[in-house]
Amino acid sequence: MNEVLWRPCEARIKASRMDAFRREVNRRYGLALADYDDLHRWSIDQRAAFWQTLADYFQVRWHQPATEVLSEGQQMPDARWFSGATLNFAEHLLRRRDAHPALISVREDGQRQVISHAELAEQVAGLQRSFKAAGIGVGDRVAACMPNTWQTLVAMLACTSLGAIWSCSSPEFGTHGIIDRFGQIEPKLLMVCAGYQYAGKAIDQVDKINEVLAQLPGLEHLLVVPYTRKHIRTDEFHSTAKTWLWNDFYQAGGEPQFTPLPFDHPLYILYSSGTTGVPKCIVHSAGGVLLQHLKEHGLHNDLSSEDVLFYYTTCGWMMWNWLVSGLAVGTTLVLYDGSPFHPGPERLLDLIDSEQISAFGTSAKYLAALEHAHLQPRLSHRLTSLKLLLSTGSPLSPESYDYVYREFKHDLCLASMSGGTDICSCFVIGNPLLPVRRGQIQCKSLGMAVEVWDDKGRPLVGEKGELVNTRHFPAMPLGFWNDPQGERFRAAYFSQFPGVWAQGDYAEAFPEGGMIIHGRSDAVLNPGGVRIGTAEIYRQVDTIDEVLESVAIGQRWQNDVRVVLFVRLREGLQLDETLQKRIRQVIRNNTTPRHVPAVILAVTDIPRTISGKVVELAIRNVVHGEPVKNTDALANPEALAQFRDRPELRDQA
């Protein structure tokens, strides 16, 4: 696990913004920080100085400067950042006004649109004028159920430029999934697409939208983007809200105006997965998101105005919010809407060459799927522009690290990262100054006091435990919507260790500074009282060519817990005794006897959230005959049926 797979050359290190930032800190404060470890330690010990220096380095435009950078209460989450300061988030994403591409919007069917930085500002100005005419202002909620396309980004920028709060889901969400989210925040304006496409199919949205509208009685405006329904009419939608088509609503031209707002003004409302109940509405601040994303894109990803950034995401996943912040460092964005595997598994790889992508972001599941499909991108694609490969969503297996360096290219920074919707950013992340070690996330993010603790709150190195953050940071959410006393917010993150953020990840820190995420804490298996992260099992099963994907749960069994593994096999294969024996042997040889599943069963599909995360808890509930509270949060809820009432899981005693 300590094997170095890539190391940046000295020239690349010296040319990086991260190293330039280290030198700036040394110059400004008369320090001699020699490396990233020194810089990270300083960023934790001197948080106010760090975040102020970061804001200065990226030339944050304050309409009013702060009277105090940091004022803390007795314990987290009580703190205040940049008191008295005002800024506007959208202003920072629209700083460039030249003819260079700001975004390249690509659809699955090949339609492509390029919008320059100057044109983007003009588009935002026009929609901003329309929003103003509709009465959208500070504190209003603007919600969108939209594909990842340029109109969605323009609407977000127009919304936040006015101080309204943006919230988005994707068209794949079911009716109740949308209502469970937007019904809580009561938007003034809802933006929708009339239809969209996925995997070669056109999907009409009108009936679903009408069901949603019936549950949003306070809605004042409905904005419809025809998208794949070119001849849609407003009278097809049934609502008391004023209904507009995009071209009728939009007022072209002009320069955007930016409303100065407090640092902690609400910017986004994001949502928890909602698989255990109604989703939590997580409120993020404009200043916190801006600083955190400037740091991550500008320093940890080393992106600049010369780069092209792509991340495969829908608008219902926080990675969309993260992706679009690349504009704040002048980077060109590639927005893709559609299936990553249509018409073939090489679809997204083609974008690397055609759009000259330098930073390509995807999920661990996608990389595993490419390997299972035996794709060799180094032979089929040029990949000359690619310098950074980003991965998140689930733990990246050591074997996927091997695959990337074997089949993509040798001179490439593979940056696995982990954070979440909870903070709309990362706790642990990549780094242009550090080597990539097999199976490890490179480092803790600057300004993030990340540790791994045991159940008694003692720091661990080289042992598994709870991922915690011990010091306040600007991107900590403001709280949950409709939680005025903060009781639910504190219970979610500060109940396990009072005054310390517990992320709910089962993790392991290494002496070199790297980190492994072993899965969600609430999905940890506990056979015989020994805690096992599900990712430890998946890493081994992923090496077996016959298995496309797997999911493991702990089943209550004879006053203990036993490990049950479900596998989805390649088409035409059967889970016979020989394959079961090999799966068990691989797991036993590379982990411990405790990891070996007591039962292995075949399924044809594994349920996932809309953003692609396996729902281990929902599967565990079904196996135990317990209800799954919100199947509408799933992309494929029908898959749960395969886990219900399996005779192999019944206690015959």
Structure tokens at 545: 């060519």
Residue 644 lies inside a defined structural domain of this protein:
yes
Q: Give the pTM.
A: 0.90
User: Under a CB-based contact definition with an 8 Å cutoff, are residues 389 and 404 in contact?
Assistant: yes
* Cβ-Cβ contacts under 8 Å for 557 (sequence gap 6 or more): 598, 651
* Cβ-Cβ contacts under 8 Å for 235 (sequence gap 6 or more): none
Domain that holds residue 637: 524-649
User: Under a CB-based contact definition with an 8 Å cutoff, are residues 22 and 33 in contact?
Assistant: yes
* Cβ-Cβ contacts under 8 Å for 564 (sequence gap 6 or more): 552, 553, 554, 555, 597, 598, 599, 600, 601, 623, 649
Residue 551 lies inside a defined structural domain of this protein:
yes
Say yes or no to pLDDT of 210 above 60.
yes
Q: What is the DSSP letter of 421?
A: T
pLDDT digits (tens, 9 = 90+) for 538-566: 989 989 999 999 999 999 998 888 999 99
Residue 142 lies inside a defined structural domain of this protein:
yes
Residue 433 lies inside a defined structural domain of this protein:
no
Last residue of a domain, one of 212, 238, 262: 262
- Domain total for the chain? 2
Last residue of a domain, one of 247, 262, 277: 262
Closest CA to 542 of 378, 394, 349: 394
Report how far residue 197's alpha carbon sits from residue 189's, in angstroms, rounded to the nearest whole number.
24
Q: What percent of the chain has pLDDT over 70?
A: 99
pLDDT digits (tens, 9 = 90+) for 449-501: 999 999 999 999 999 999 999 999 999 999 999 999 999 999 999 999 999 99
Structure tokens at 28: 């400004």
Strand-pair partners of 143:
167, 190
Give the CATH number for residue 614: 3.30.300.30
Could you tell me whether strands 443-444 and 425-429 are parallel, antiparallel, or unpaired per DSSP bridges?
antiparallel
Instruction: Give the type of residue at 557.
Output: W
* Cβ-Cβ contacts under 8 Å for 311 (sequence gap 6 or more): 319, 320, 322, 323, 361, 362, 390
pLDDT digits (tens, 9 = 90+) for 113-160: 999 999 999 999 999 999 999 999 999 999 999 999 999 999 999 999
Report how far residue 616's alpha carbon sits from residue 534's, in angstroms, rounded to the nearest whole number.
9
pLDDT digits (tens, 9 = 90+) for 417-457: 999 999 999 999 999 999 999 999 999 999 999 999 999 99
Residue 228 lies inside a defined structural domain of this protein:
yes
Closest CA to 602 of 570, 575, 583, 629: 575
The Cβ-side half-sphere exposure at 616, using a 13 Å CA radius, reads: 21
Rounded to 10 deg, the angle between the 117-133 and 150-161 helix axes is 60
Give the CATH number for residue 136: 3.40.50.980
Last residue of a domain, one of 262, 279, 310: 262
Residue 632 lies inside a defined structural domain of this protein:
yes
